Chain A
Amino acid sequence: EDKVVQSPLSLVVHEGDTVTLNCSYEVTNFRSLLWYKQEKKAPTFLFMLTSSGIEKKSGRLSSILDKKELFSILNITATQTGDSAVYLCAVVISSGSARQLTFGSGTQLTVLP
């Protein structure tokens, strides 16, 4: 059974702190790993990772994938209250002609002023 596990489940920090969110996976037919941000509405796309060791960056957010150890991390530096959200990790699996996503349960990040 395909499995995606995120940790921690929740995290409370103060503005300016740096956080690291973890995502480990055990799946067959790995294709890519996606990170999404969800703020009480539809998830919004952050990153797509396919190759090990190549960091993706967008402003204060960055992410990296380790395909040997089967995990990814999402870093957020100099956190702001607007970063408060649930961060979802999803692994894309190839299934015949289809691509399916298996999601982790998410990390609830709360950034206090």
Chain B
Amino acid sequence: NAGVTQTPKFRVLKTGQSMTLLCAQDMNHEYMYWYRQDPGMGLRLIHYSVGEGTTAKGEVPDGYNVSRLKKQNFLLGLESAAPSQTSVYFCASSYWGTGIDEQFFGPGTRLTVL
């Protein structure tokens, strides 16, 4: 099992450009999440999904959009990148079940917006 994978690993954008980050999981998890991590701020939730075809806003959703067309994939889009979106982005997934709250994280995408 590959677990949670993310593509790309690194990306440099110019202000105003758009891009899509792809997250894939092979654990048949219902829940998927996108986080950003900035120095000294831990991880902050951008958007999440509780199942195929559903999405919801997290703590810092502005400037991002997401889609979950297939259960195993969760896409994060930046329509018009801004320097404030320079960050490390982590995708995570978790099982929907009693007593299991662990989230499994992907390796991260380091995004720089110039």
Q: Is the CB of A88 within 8 A of B106?
A: no
Interface positions of B from 59 to 114, Cβ below 8 Å from A: 59, 90, 94, 99, 101-108
Q: Is the CB of A48 within 8 A of B48?
A: no
Q: Is the CB of B99 within 8 A of A100?
A: no
Residues of A within 8 A of B40 (CB): 9, 105
| Binary contact track B19-44/A, C-beta < 8 Å → 1, others 0 | 00000000000010100000011111
Shortest CB distance A24–B (Å): 14
A31 to B101, CA, bound (A): 9
Which B residues are closer than 8 A to A by beta carbons? 4, 31, 33, 40-45, 48, 50, 56, 58-59, 90, 94, 99, 101-108
Which A residues are closer than 8 A to B by beta carbons? 4, 9, 31-32, 34, 41-45, 48, 50, 88, 90, 92, 97-106
